Structure 1
Amino acid sequence: MKTKWLQGLIKSLSLGQGLNDQGGDLETPDVPLTDDPKENARRIMDTVLHAMDVANVQLTDDRHSPQVMYLKTMTNYKMLQQDIIRPMKALALHGKSWDRINDYVVVGQRRAVDKLSDAVHYLLDGWTLVGLPGVSGFLCFKTDHEQSRPVEKAENQSIVIGPQEAFSESLEINISLIRKRLKTPDLEFVTMKIGDLTQTKVVVMGIRGIVNEKYMDMIIQRIREVEIDGLLGAGELVQLIDDQPLSPFPQFNLGERPDNVVAALIEGKVAVIAGGSPYAFTGPSSFIEFFQSPEDYYNRWLSTSLVRMLRVFGVFVSITLSGIYVATLQYHYEIIPANMLKTIALSRAKVPFPPLYEALFLELTLEVLREAGARLPTKVGQTMGIVGGIVIGQAAVSAGFTSNVMIIVVSLSALASFVTPSYVMGNAVRVVRFPIIFLSGMYGFMGLMVGLVTILLHMLNLSSLHAPYMTPLAPLRLGDLKDTIIRVPTQLLSFRPLLSRARRNRKNNSPTLKRK
């Protein structure tokens, strides 16, 4: 039977992180534990199939000795020995009552459980279980030792000016990187476990008093509705909660930079981090956000505006340049100046294929080289990309498979696709380029325009958490145009974007631009 001190302990003990576990469902019988530590340990060992990394230790030779259980592969041995085993042995040596264990064991995060499913859950999460004779259930102490990379420099979203830190695979480290920048008590967390087998911890964050509860509740509800055996990262989760999962365009801003996530939280958006993933995503997001970089706000407004315009122009060029070239050569060559037409004709004299096949061949070859370079080790991949591109390009021209002009056009299209700071948006641009080329080769400029209009109509129909994807362009919101393709001086960015529907609109009370 439970003693009074254990009943009080169950009420008082907490995880110590301020997180609300809305845990997943383990396939473990939800049966009460007994007051026999050995019997309880036997039940747990049977439940985990006597796994080789589960340690079941009897503290003393006495048959009424406490039972200690932990995972060898996830436990911090130094903490286990110094903070749990040694104090408990001292308690037994001095003949003290076990109800004084709270005075001897000083591990910060602890919890008491009296059900088999809860005990197995904490054991597999890296906690140490302590079963006391005559007391029902276990005391659980957080002694896990999570193996993860240290905080490193951002690779996919690298910038010149500004912080260089990136998220790692440790959920605790990622939250600490956000806490370091947001020292407000209004930062609230909701934690859930997703995946019947992986039990991946997912944390939803927002700033109380700023974030719109509608968006917060919507994301939480969508995540809770996810039914999956295993969730391996934020990139997989974001596809499961999209408004339109069949669209090639991302509807949440996925990134690896904590400063970018903090900026989104300050604007009133919701952020989501998943354990084991070095990425987080924020929402609701608009199309124009994927052309904005954290570096834009560390740089001067004029240079930032120029760079943003170059990004938008580069993406347009990446999508349309190859299609325009194919449509012009096949159907509208009369618009090419005579001198240039002669040069292009000489370049294509030995090419037996129409421009459509030529463009598709080069685009596919370039994508193969890009994918091979990304999968190989860094130094080898760079060499493969440069040398492979040069060798294959020259060989293709010499063999008559393609022309020099087509290589230039396809290379410019490929380079222009890298100007967007978002890797997922860059992938979307790569995807839509192929149907544009195909339509241009089949129907000329008419096919090109049909493809572009179809893409535009699709984006106008998209939403992120039911918020319009093309805002502030459609619907037109003049106040938010100050931070889109151009960026006005920081002093004029006084209000949060209407997209986030924040409860508090003003965020900047800086002095006027002209000082005396």
Structure 2
Amino acid sequence: MREAMQNALDLTTISLSDERNAPQVLFLKTLTNVPLLHRDVIRPMKVLAMQNKPWESINDFVVIGQRKHAERLPDAVRFLMDGWTLAAVPGHPGFLCYKADQEQGRPVEKAENQSIVVGPQEALNESLETSLALIRKRLRTPDLEMVPLRVGDLTQTKILVLGIKGIVNEEFMKKIIQRIRDVEMDSLIGAGELVQLLEDQPLSPFPQFNLTERPDNIVACLVDGKVAVLVDGSPYAFTGPSSFIEFFHSPEDYYNRWISSSLVRMLRVIGVIVSITLSGIYVATLQYHYEIIPANMLKTIALSRAKVPFPPLYEALFLELTLEVLREAGARLPTKVGQTMGIVGGIVIGQAAVSAGFTSNVMIIVVSLSALASFVTPSYIMGNAVRVVRFPIIFLSGLWGFMGLMVGLVTILIHMLHLSSLNTPYMTPFAPLRLSDLKDTLIRVPTQLLSFRPFLTKSKRNRMNNLPSLKRK
């Protein structure tokens, strides 16, 4: 073992006696709960040695919770790197392994990137065991399947694939497990890195798995018949297969009344459409189709652009890039400083740009509305995709006017129609059209009518077998 771990300065070896073949205990002090180790492993072994008991009876003295046996050296090294304690004793080939690791990580905290007003506030964290406990707390069924995997020759990152037996489609489980096993790399740090290696079309700007930090969202996806993947060391998990419309759903939609939830969902979709098209429409209108602007408004726009020497295309690209720089700088700075810099920086730079003649007041309003509309998306990764596709839309609109705008939108639509998630249509239930699934897309019908699971998951079981009446007597 010393030869295999010769570079490990934190490897500690304790010999229970001065004899040549004395039992030895090996552990990494940086990963081990040393007080627990001395109390539950080393002390009982010393008692066993003092009473001259045979070492074959060690399991009667060491009664720590989890124990395993590793006969091969690579297996023993893996247990050691996971924080387990190894014991080499006479009469037992290989190593006895005892779980006395020290929990490394932060406590359960509130969800930051997917915060809601009504509903649970807990979020996953970097500990795989803690994240699994949060899911287990909400999903109390023995049918929860858990398939452990590892990725990374150097990191040996632990991965857990989850699905509910009898509800999840076994083909989805097999596909995602096989794709994870096919990943060959030196290191894996987080779920966001793994999800890019598992997508059907990794070159697309649109995400094909739903990345989430909320355990209630994961449980809802599992109950719908989807597969969830947890990655040790990452506060995020991802679920699949996913459709495009799911990225505009929030867990809060199911905690609120169906009418208000449906209104908010439609506002999200409208906001994304506005975010993608508004700047392009403004550029195309000013450069090629200014005749459609009412005369009174055209005069106002002309006055605001009187000092601007650039065409609307350059003006829009300049403001969009400036806004992205401000957003990125605010995200990287400490919270309080970032908020102040984002607000003050935006006001100061915007006012200075207008005074210097780089842009007009109307263009600042248009770009600000586009940016504001992009924030209504509950999914951060889908919000990033919206930010990306906005730039080619602006460029095509400045190049060919409304024709360029339509070419860009149709190209995006065709691309999305070709996308898939675990070989299932990305645009379902719109293409192919599934009328029964439309009741939980742009709108959310009352919960009593959501008795069937989405066709996307191909599950054979219903959510509710005995439908409660919509109108009780």
2:133 to 176, 195, 198: 176
Equivalent position amino acid for 1:395 in 2 = A
Note the 1:214-233 alignment, pairs <5 A.
214-233=171-190
1:137 aligns with 2:94: yes
SS of the residue aligned with 1:197? coil
- Deviations 1:163-218 (CA, angstroms, capped at 9, x unpaired): 00000000000000000001000001001010000000110000001100011100
2:153 to 187, 193, 196: 196
Cα distance in 2 between the residues matched to 1:247 and 1:509:
42
1:370 aligns with 2:324: no
Which residue of 1 is the match for residue 371 of structure 2? 414
Which residue of 1 is the match for residue 232 of structure 2? 275
Range 343-352 or range 100-109, more displaced? 100-109
Which residue of 2 is the match for residue 446 of structure 1? 403
**CA-based RMSD:** 0.8
TM-score scaled by structure 2?
0.99
Cα shift at 1:320: 0.2
Cα shift at 1:337: 0.3
1:467 aligns with 2:420: no
Which residue of 2 is the match for residue 33 of structure 1? none
1:314 aligns with 2:252: no
Cα shift at 1:117: 1.0
1:53 aligns with 2:17: no
Aligned residues: 473
1:163 aligns with 2:127: no
Contact 1:491 1:508 in 2 (8 A): no
1:431 aligns with 2:388: yes
- Deviations 1:231-278 (CA, angstroms, capped at 9, x unpaired): 001111100000000000000010000000000000000000000000
Cα distance in 2 between the residues matched to 1:444 and 1:137:
74
1:76 aligns with 2:36: no
Equivalent position amino acid for 1:247 in 2 = S
Contact 2:271 2:374 in 1 (8 A): yes
Cα distance in 1 between the residues matched to 2:323 and 2:4:
52
Cα shift at 1:99: 1.2
- Deviations 1:43-102 (CA, angstroms, capped at 9, x unpaired): x11112241011112122232321110001000112101000111111111111111110
Cα shift at 1:118: 1.1
Equivalent position amino acid for 2:304 in 1 = S
Equivalent position amino acid for 1:260 in 2 = N
Equivalent position amino acid for 1:103 in 2 = D
5+ unaligned residues in a row in structure 2: which ranges? Answer: none
Contact 2:56 2:92 in 1 (8 A): no
Contact 1:242 1:251 in 2 (8 A): yes
Contact 1:327 1:444 in 2 (8 A): yes
SS of the residue aligned with 1:163? coil
Equivalent position amino acid for 1:207 in 2 = I
Contact 1:68 1:128 in 2 (8 A): yes
SS of the residue aligned with 2:401? helix
Cα shift at 1:155: 0.3
Cα distance in 2 between the residues matched to 1:108 and 1:487:
47
1:264 aligns with 2:264: no
Cα distance in 1 between the residues matched to 2:395 and 2:450:
43
Which residue of 2 is the match for residue 478 of structure 1? 435
Cα shift at 1:135: 3.4
Which residue of 2 is the match for residue 352 of structure 1? 309
Which residue of 1 is the match for residue 198 of structure 2? 241
SS of the residue aligned with 1:117? helix
Note the 1:489-504 alignment, pairs <5 A.
489-504=446-461
Cα distance in 1 between the residues matched to 2:300 and 2:395:
24
2:464 to 507, 510, 513: 507
- Deviations 1:472-512 (CA, angstroms, capped at 9, x unpaired): 01111000000000010000001000000013134353411
Contact 1:195 1:230 in 2 (8 A): yes
SS of the residue aligned with 2:146? strand
Equivalent position amino acid for 1:203 in 2 = L
1:342 aligns with 2:299: yes
Cα distance in 1 between the residues matched to 2:229 and 2:363:
43
- Deviations 1:311-349 (CA, angstroms, capped at 9, x unpaired): 000000000000000000000000000000000000000
Range 161-170 or range 136-145, more displaced? 136-145
Which residue of 1 is the match for residue 50 of structure 2? 93
Equivalent position amino acid for 2:188 in 1 = L
1:125 aligns with 2:82: yes
Cα shift at 1:279: 0.5
TM-score scaled by structure 1?
0.91
Cα shift at 1:373: 0.3
Cα shift at 1:391: 0.4
Cα distance in 1 between the residues matched to 2:454 and 2:464:
10
1:403 to 360, 366, 374: 360
Cα shift at 1:140: 0.6
1:153 aligns with 2:107: no
5+ unaligned residues in a row in structure 1: which ranges? Answer: 1-43
Cα distance in 1 between the residues matched to 2:176 and 2:38:
42
1:333 aligns with 2:290: yes
Contact 1:323 1:436 in 2 (8 A): yes
Equivalent position amino acid for 1:73 in 2 = T
- Deviations 1:428-479 (CA, angstroms, capped at 9, x unpaired): 0000000000000000000000000000000000000010000001111000
